Amino acid sequence: MSGADELRELVTRCLSDDREAVRTFVERFQQLVFSLCLQMLRHRQDAEDVAQEAIVRAVRHLDHWDSSRPIEPWLLAIAGNRCRTALERRSRRPRVMEALPEVVAPADAAPRGGIGEEVQRAVDGLRDDYRQCFTLFHVQQLSVQEIADQMHVPTGTVKTWLHRARKELAEELTRRGVKAG
């Protein structure tokens, strides 16, 4: 039995309220969904909550999944939509305290963390749509078309956002003194 056939069987069992199948489905996809949520929300507890909400929603609506297509982009679209809703809610919450001023290191200062930490900080600084697009392409390895479908934008917009995200990352890393290897 192929992986696709096994997945279809698992989904069929989930749709017939097989608790063990649901548990297997959750275990199989929770890390994928959580990583996207963490990248988008940049807050572990929020990411855990939204990932759980996205997985529950996916299981509840498995009958809407087109089994002729891969399930990962469909799951990530649900998670991305839940993240955007959470970000929108978060932006409407009143701020409890003033933001602390950013301490800017001199241009010639060596980066404090490793290259991975510096890249993550730079990615975290991207605007939300650039960050989501960049993460879906480079981390989740979705195609431009899959990203466009998930984010409900044209493929040209995805290409533009990817280009701008890479450019901003390169500029930020240069500003921080990170040298390309």
For 33, residues 6+ apart whose C-beta sits below 8 A from its C-beta are: 51, 54, 55, 58, 75, 76, 79
Q: Tell me: domain 115-175, CATH 1.10.10.10, correct?
A: yes
User: What pLDDT, in 10s, does the model give residues 93-111?
Assistant: 665 444 333 434 444 444 4
User: What pLDDT, in 10s, does the model give residues 115-155?
Assistant: 777 888 888 888 888 888 888 888 888 899 988 888 888 99
For 41, residues 6+ apart whose C-beta sits below 8 A from its C-beta are: 47, 50, 83, 86, 87
- Mean pLDDT for the stretch of residues 163-170: 89
- Mean pLDDT for the stretch of residues 50-68: 94
Nearest to 26 by CA among 6, 5, 2, 54: 54
- Mean pLDDT for the stretch of residues 34-56: 90
> Per the structure block, which two tokens stand in for 68?
């002729």
Q: Where in the chain is the domain with CATH 1.10.1740.10?
A: 3-92
**pLDDT value, residue 110:** 44
Q: Where in the chain is the domain with CATH 1.10.10.10?
A: 115-175
- Mean pLDDT for the stretch of residues 4-12: 93
**pLDDT value, residue 94:** 61
Whether the pLDDT of residue 51 is over 90: the answer is yes
At the top level of CATH, which class does the domain 3-92 belong to?
Answer: mainly alpha
